[in-house]
Amino acid sequence: MIMLTGVLGAISGVWLAGLIMLGLGLVFAIVLLVASEKLKVPVDPRITQVYEVLPHLDCGACGYPGCSGYAKAVIANPELLGQCAPGGADAASRIAAILNLRISASGPAKRPIVHCRAHTADRTYFAQYQGIPSCTAANALANAQACKFGCLGFGDCVRACKFDALHVIDGLSTVDYTKCTGCGACSKACPRNLIEMVPFSYENMMTVACRSRENGKSTRAFCQVGCIGCGLCAKQSEAFTVADNLARMDYAKYAPCGENEAAMNKCPTGVIVCRGKTAPPPREPKAKSAEAAKG
């Protein structure tokens, strides 16, 4: 009998505790329910839709922290539509469809071109740089290498690249176009502004792989493969112009044709090269191959 009351008492205690907890839970549930109704923040369903069509690389090329940040920004301000470089025209048109916008055809995807083709053996050094192994640091010194315009080869761009598409090969930053998404991080990282984002209208683009505005004599003294501003290319093809001792390519006028081929073959220092997925290796400079023939 005493045992029975004990058991009953224990059960009633448990019941009481359970009821109290149930009641407390109910009170809090009601409070939270009311609060969630009162404090509801309407979320635009298009944000998730736009986020879905983005590439989810979180590369930051658009200037926003990650793809979700860009999704919010593009809905607030549709002018930002074409900012997603890795997504390209495909993502832009799909976002436009979600936002009920019509976009005119956007240009070809941009890819980086390094405006330098000098490997370590081609360069001249006045002294050996032994400072912080970063291009930004080396660029602060006047004499990190003789050429004040060329690639320093410490790989600031390589560290900026999230897609393993850039490597410093023998002192020269080289783009792997099969891996590149065109986000432009390398272009921003280069302290010498050597990396230009070029609209790749064709699989391979011809370019003047030099940025040296030194006069021809100095350029020749500093680098085996620099542009000396001789103007032979401009005589062959309209796509080239020479100013400040440097030939430049107008990419809007470029097409793979005989004239441009001729300009490339005429170049005495071989600084006009093709860049792209299936680009042929750059030509040897005339002087060098002549020397080689002599030797």
Partner 1 sequence: MDLLYVLLTGFISVVLINNLVFTKFLGICPYIGVSGRIDMAFGMGLAVTFVMTLSGTLTWMIDHWLLMPLNLEVARYVAFIMVIAAAVQLVEMYLKKFFPPLYESFGIFLPLITTNCAILGLCLFLVVWGTSTLIEAVVLSFGGGIGFTIAICIMAGIRENMQMVDVPESLRGAPITLITAGLLALAFMGFAGII
Ramachandran area for residue 256 (φ above 0: left; ψ -120 to 50: alpha; else beta)? beta
Q: Name the DSSP letter for residue 172.
A: E
Give the count of residues interacting with partner 1 (CB under 8 A): 15
User: Could you say which residues in the range 32-71 bind partner 1, by CB under 8 A?
Assistant: 32, 35-36, 39-41
Enumerate residues 187-246 that contact partner 1 by CB under 8 A: none
Cβ proximity to partner 1, 66 vs 268, nearer residue: 66
**Residue 46: CB minimum distance to partner 1, A:** 18
Q: In the complex, what is the shortest distance from the CB of residue 23 to partner 1, in angstroms, rounded to a whole number?
A: 9
Give the shortest CB-15-to-partner 1 separation in angstroms. Answer: 11
Please identify, using beta-carbon distances, which residue of 32 and 140 lies nearer to partner 1.
32
Residue 54 CB, shortest distance to partner 1, in Å, is: 19
Residue number with CB closer to partner 1 (17 or 127): 17
How many alpha carbons fall within 13 Å on the CB side of residue 172? 19
Q: What does the block give as tokens for 228?
A: 């000396």
Query: Which residue number, 41 or 121, has a Cβ lying nearer to partner 1?
Result: 41
Site for partner 1 in 6-35 (CB under 8 A): 13, 16-17, 20-21, 24-25, 28, 31-32, 35
Give the up-direction half-sphere exposure of residue 244: CA atoms within 13 A in the CB hemisphere. 6
The single-letter code of the amino acid at 204 is N
Helix, strand or coil, per DSSP, at residue 213: coil
Give the 3-state secondary structure of residue 158: helix
> Least distance to partner 1 from the beta carbon of 210, Å?
39
- Residues 189 and 156 sit within 8 Å (Cβ to Cβ): yes
The residues pairing with 110 across neighbouring beta strands, listed in sequence order, are: 199
Secondary structure of residue 66 in the 3-state scheme: helix
Footprint of partner 1 (CB under 8 A) = 13, 16-17, 20-21, 24-25, 28, 31-32, 35-36, 39-41
